[in-house]
Amino acid sequence: MPAKKPASISQMFAPASQNQEVLQLQDRVEELEDELRQLRSQELDSNIKEALEEQIQELAQQLAQQGGEHQVPLEQIQPDPEQPRTVFPATVIQARAKSLREKGQHSPIILIPQAENSYKLFDGELRWRSASQAGLTKLRAVFLTQEALDKLDKAAIFDRQLTTSLQSEKLHPFDLANGLVKLMVIRYPQLNEQVRAIPSLLNAIIQRLRRSKGIAELEEIAIADRDTQQEWIEKVCISDTERWILEVILSKQLNPVSINSNVFTLLNLPDDLQSVIRTDGLEGSKVLELKKISGKNLNVDEEAATELRTKLTNEVVQQGLSLDKIRSRVKEILRTQRDSEQPPKPVDISQRLLSIPKQLKRAKVWEDTKKRQKLEKLLNELEGLLL
Amino acid sequence: MKTRKAVKRQIRLAILSNAGGSGKTTAAVHLAYIVGVRGYKVTLIELDSNGSIQTFAGLPPATSEKSLAAVLKKNFNGNYPLVPLWSEHVSNVWAIQGGAPLRESVVEINNSERKSQTLRDRLEDYPLESDFVIFDTPASLDTMGLLALAACTHLLAPIKPEYKDTGSFVDLLNWYNEKIRELRLKPRPEILGFVPSRVDIGEEAIHRNLLGLTRQGKPNKKIPPEETLPFQIEQMGIHCFPLIRESSYYLWASGAGLPLHLYRPGCPFIEDFQPLVDAVEKLMTE
Q: What residues of chain A, 18 to 57, have a C-beta less than 8 Å from chain B?
A: 19-20, 23, 26-27
Chain A residues with CB-CB distance to B286 below 8 A: 135, 137
Between B211 and A1, name the one with better pLDDT: B211
pLDDT exceeds 80 at position A117: yes
User: Do B244 and B251 meet the contact criterion of CB atoms below 8 Å apart?
Assistant: no
What is the least distance, in Å, from the CA of A98 to any CA of chain B?
A: 12
**Interface membership of B110 toward A (CB under 8 Å):** no
User: What's the confidence (pLDDT) of residue A169?
Assistant: 54
Please work out, in degrees rounded to the nearest 5, the angle formed at the alpha carbon of residue B240 by the alpha carbons of B270 and A78: 120
Residue B11 pLDDT class (50, 70, 90 cuts): very high
pLDDT tens-place string over residues A336-382: 877 776 555 556 777 777 777 777 777 777 777 777 888 888 888 87
In 3D, which of B103, B77, B76, B91 has the Cα closest to residue B39?
Answer: B91
For chain B, give the longest Cα–Cα distance. 60
User: Do A16 and B173 meet the contact criterion of CB atoms below 8 Å apart?
Assistant: yes
Run of H or E including B93:
strand B93-96
pLDDT tens-place string over residues B126-184: 999 999 999 999 988 889 999 999 999 999 999 999 998 999 999 999 999 889 988 88
Q: Which residues contact A189 (CB under 8 A, 6 or more apart)?
A: none
Strands A109-113 and A138-143, bridge-based pairing: parallel
Torsion sign, CA atoms B118, B124, B128, B131: positive
pLDDT tens-place string over residues A173-210: 788 888 888 888 888 888 888 888 888 888 888 888 88
In 3D, which of A182, A301, A174, A149 has the Cα closest to residue A249?
Answer: A182
Please work out, in degrees rounded to the nearest 5, the angle formed at the alpha carbon of residue A268 by the alpha carbons of A265 and A274: 95
Residue A96 pLDDT class (50, 70, 90 cuts): confident
* Cα B90 versus chain centre, distance: 20
Residue A189 and residue B271: Cα distance in Å, rounded? Answer: 65
**Interface membership of B6 toward A (CB under 8 Å):** no
Is B173 in contact with A16 (Cβ distance < 8 A)? yes
C-beta neighbour count of B178 within 10 angstroms:
12
In percent, the amount of chain A with pLDDT more than 70 equals 76
With b for 16 or more beta-carbon neighbours within 10 A and e for fewer, the B139-168 pattern comes to bebebbbbbbbbbbbbbbbbbbbbeebbeb
Residue A301 and residue A294: Cα distance in Å, rounded? Answer: 9
Q: Between the CA atoms of A42, A47, A48 and A49, what dihedral angle is there, to the nearest 10 degrees?
A: 50
Strand order across the B11-15 sheet: B83-84, B93-96, B42-46, B132-136, B11-15, B154-159, B190-196
What is the least distance, in Å, from the CA of A6 to any CA of chain B?
A: 9
A132: nearest CA partner in chain B: B286
Mean pLDDT of B21-42: 95
User: What's the confidence (pLDDT) of residue B119?
Assistant: 95
pLDDT tens-place string over residues A239-289: 888 899 998 888 877 888 888 888 888 887 888 888 888 777 788 888 888
CA-only gyration radius of chain B, Å: 18
User: What's the confidence (pLDDT) of residue A43?
Assistant: 47
